[in-house]
Amino acid sequence: MLRGKEILLGVTGGIAAYKSVYLCRELTVRGANVHVVMTKNAMNFVTPLTFQTISGNPVTHRMFELFRGPEIGHVALADRAHALVVAPATANILGKVANGLADDFLSTMIMATRVPVLFAPAMNVVMWESAAVQDNVRRLKERGFAFVGPAEGELACGVKGKGKMADPLQIVEALEGVLTPDDLAGETVLVTAGPTLEPMDPVRFISNHSSGKMGYALARAAVRRGARVILISGPTSLPPPLNAEVIRVTTAREMREAVLTQAGRASVIVMAAAVCDWRPVAMASQKIKKRSGAPPSLELEPNPDILKELGRNKRPDQILVGFAAETHDMEKGARVKLAEKRLDAIVANDVTAPGSGFHVDTNEVVIFTASGERIGVPRMSKDRVADRILGLVAKLRRGSQKPSWEPEAERPEFWEEG
Ligand code: PMT
C-alpha cells in the first residue's frame, strides 16, 4: 500500500522523536519515499543525519532552504506528497495548526498542503488532558485532521497515563488507513479468523494450522476502508487490529454462536476462519492417562457448518464471502462450496502451494463470484490479498454486480436485529 508513495514525516521536539526513527524505517521498508521535516526542537533529541541515513533523502529543517528557482520549498514538497504524518506531535504543533500559526517549516507546510495529515501526539499526561490541548484536538478533528494515539503507559517523565506516542507499526497502519478510500464507510464487516480447537480432554485437542494472519489482514483492510469491524477470532498469537471489535472463541460451536449473534449487525461477512469440521464426541473431564496397550480411539462427530447456515439465512442486502482451503481440485472444490453455501464470492487457496495458505505471510488465491467472475490474485502479502478481496466487496456493494442467490422467505430471529 505504501509502495511508491511520497510520505512527509514531520518530527517535533519530544523524547518520542527517537521512535520516529523506527517509523521512518518501517515506512521505507514498505517502499515509501520518506521526506523528513524536523523542527528546531526535534534536533535536540535526534540528529537530521539519522533520518537522512534511514530515509535516503535530505532532511529539511530551515524555513528557506528548499527554494529551487521559482519553486517555493514547503509548497513544492507538500504538493508532491501523498500524505503527511507528524510523529511525535507535541502540544505546541497541535496548538499552532489549530490556531493557524505558521512560523517554521513544518507548520507552514501543514498549512500549505492539501494532502491528508495524520498526527501522532506524544506528551505528558497532564498536558494531554489540559483543556487547551483537548480543545485544539477537537478543532483539528473537526477540520478533517486524522489522529492515532496517544497510548496509555509509562511516560518518559515517570508518570503513568495517556500520552505515549502510538507504536510505529500502529502509526503505519493508521497512515495506510488515511491513504485508503473509505469505500466501506457505513458498512459493518464481520470477519472470522484463525483455527478452532476441539478438546478431547483438558490438555489435548484437534485443530489445524491456521495462524489467523489472513483473517486479521482482512479485518485491518476493512478498518482502513472505513468499515466498522467485528473480528471473531479463534486462538491466535496476533495483536488485535486497531479499531476492530474483537470477540475471542475457542471451539467451532462457540464460533457459531458468536457469528450468529453478530450476523444481524453485519452488512458484509467474510469467513476466513479454518473451522474444524469434526470434534471429539466426548471431552474427558480429566487428562486421559497413557496406558500400556492400545491408545484410546477417538470418536468424532460433525461440527455445524456456520457458513452454510449463514448462506441459508442471508439478508438480501448482505454480502457473504467464504474461503476454500483446498489441497487438490481447487477450482472444482471452490465452485461447489460457492453454490452449496449460497455465497456472493469464494476465495480459493491451494494450501499446499509454496507461499500460500496456512501460517505464511503471503497468499495466492482465485476469487470466484456468484455472477460467474473468476479473478486470479498472484502471490502477494496477505494484506494486499485482503485489499483485493475488500475491493471486490466494495464493488459488489456499489451494485455493479448483483448476487445471484434469492433470499429465503423465512429467517430465524437473529436476522431481525440491526
Ligand atoms: O490463518 P492463516 O494461517 O493465515 O491461513 C489462512 C487460511 C488458509 C486459513 C485461509 O486462507 C482459508 O483458506 N480459510 C478457510 C479455511 C477452511 O476452513 O476452508 P474450508 O474449505 O474447509 O471451508 C469453506 C468455508 O466454510 C470457509 O469459509 C470456512 O470458514 C467455512 N466453514 C467451514 C467449516 C465449518 N464447519 N463451518 C464453516 O463456516
Please work out whether the CB of residue 227 comes within 6 Å of at least one atom of ligand 1.
no
For residue 263, report the distance from its CA to the centre of ligand 1, in Å. 18
List, in order, residues 6 or more apart from 337 with CB less than 8 Å away.
Answer: 322, 324, 343, 346
Which ligand 1 atom is the nearest neighbour of the CA of 334?
A: 21
**Residue 24 bears catalytic tag:** no
Please work out whether the CB of residue 357 comes within 6 Å of at least one atom of ligand 1.
yes
Give the predicted TM-score (pTM) of the model: 0.80
For residue 278, report the distance from its CA to the centre of ligand 1, in Å. 13
For residue 407, report the distance from its CA to the centre of ligand 1, in Å. 23
Which residue owns the Cα nearest ligand 1 atom 27? Answer: 323
| Pick from 383, 362, 12, 14: nearest CA to 172 | 383
| Pick from 348, 268, 279: nearest CA to 310 | 268
The pLDDT score that the predictor gives to residue 65 is 62
Catalytic residue among 29, 126, 132, 157: 157
For residue 244, report the distance from its CA to the centre of ligand 1, in Å. 21
Name the phi and psi angles at 95, rounded to 5: -65, -40
The pLDDT score that the predictor gives to residue 64 is 60
Residue 296 DSSP code: P
For residue 106, give the C-alpha cell. Answer: 513544518
Per-residue pLDDT of the chain (418 residues; tens, 9 = 90+): 799 999 999 999 999 999 999 999 999 999 999 999 999 999 999 999 999 999 999 998 776 665 555 555 556 677 789 999 999 999 999 999 999 999 999 999 999 898 999 999 999 999 999 999 999 999 999 999 999 999 998 877 777 888 999 999 999 999 998 998 889 999 999 999 999 999 999 999 999 999 999 999 999 999 999 999 999 999 999 999 989 999 999 999 999 999 999 999 999 999 999 999 999 999 999 998 887 667 888 999 999 999 999 999 999 999 999 999 999 999 999 999 999 999 999 999 999 999 999 999 999 999 999 999 999 999 999 999 999 999 999 999 988 444 444 333 333 333 332 2
Question: What's the Cα-to-Cα distance from 234 to each of 193, 256, 264, rounded to whole Å?
Answer: 6, 11, 20
User: What SS3 class is residue 85?
Assistant: strand
Which ligand 1 atom is the nearest neighbour of the CA of 272?
A: 14
Which ligand 1 atom is the nearest neighbour of the CA of 277?
A: 36
Please work out whether the CB of residue 277 comes within 6 Å of at least one atom of ligand 1.
yes
Residue 307: in which H helix or E strand, if any? Answer: helix 306-312
Please work out whether the CB of residue 273 comes within 6 Å of at least one atom of ligand 1.
yes
Which one of 198, 209, 210, 237 would you pick to mutate in the ligand 1 pocket, going by the greatest count of ligand atoms within 8 A of its CB?
Answer: 210
Q: How far apart are CA 141 and CA 60, in angstroms?
A: 27
* Furthest-apart CA atoms within the chain: distance in Å: 89
The pLDDT score that the predictor gives to residue 62 is 75
Q: How far apart are CA 45 and CA 76, in angstroms?
A: 27
CATH of 6-178, one of 3.30.1050.10, 3.10.20.440, 3.10.180.10, 3.40.50.1950: 3.40.50.1950
Cα radius of gyration rounded to whole Å, the chain: 25
List, in order, residues 6 or more apart from 294 with CB less than 8 Å away.
Answer: none
Provide the phi-psi class of 227: left if phi over 0, else alpha when psi is between -120 and 50, else beta.
beta
Which one of 271, 278, 306 would you pick to mutate in the ligand 1 pocket, going by the greatest count of ligand atoms within 8 A of its CB?
Answer: 271
Which residue owns the Cα nearest ligand 1 atom 17? Answer: 274
Please work out whether the CB of residue 270 comes within 6 Å of at least one atom of ligand 1.
no
Cβ–Cβ < 8 Å for 18, 47:
no
Q: How far apart are CA 132 and CA 129, in angstroms?
A: 8
Please work out whether the CB of residue 232 comes within 6 Å of at least one atom of ligand 1.
no
Ranges for all domains in the chain classified under CATH 3.40.50.1950 = 6-178
For residue 265, report the distance from its CA to the centre of ligand 1, in Å. 22
Provide the phi-psi class of 194: left if phi over 0, else alpha when psi is between -120 and 50, else beta.
left
Question: What's the Cα-to-Cα distance from 227 to each of 43, 153, 364, 381, rounded to whole Å?
Answer: 39, 28, 25, 21
Ranges for all domains in the chain classified under CATH 3.40.50.10300 = 188-280+300-397
Which residue owns the Cα nearest ligand 1 atom 18? Answer: 274
Which ligand 1 atom is the nearest neighbour of the CA of 302?
A: 36
For residue 273, report the distance from its CA to the centre of ligand 1, in Å. 5
**Planar angle of CA 37, 43, 49, nearest 5 degrees:** 70
For residue 199, report the distance from its CA to the centre of ligand 1, in Å. 19
Cβ–Cβ < 8 Å for 214, 193:
yes
Which residue owns the Cα nearest ligand 1 atom 26? Answer: 307
Please work out whether the CB of residue 252 comes within 6 Å of at least one atom of ligand 1.
yes
Is CATH 3.40.630.30 correct for 188-280+300-397?
no
| Pick from 10, 7, 2, 4: nearest CA to 111 | 10
**Planar angle of CA 194, 198, 203, nearest 5 degrees:** 110
Q: How far apart are CA 80 and CA 258, in angstroms?
A: 46
Q: How far apart are CA 108 and CA 102, in angstroms?
A: 5
Q: How far apart are CA 32 and CA 5, in angstroms?
A: 5
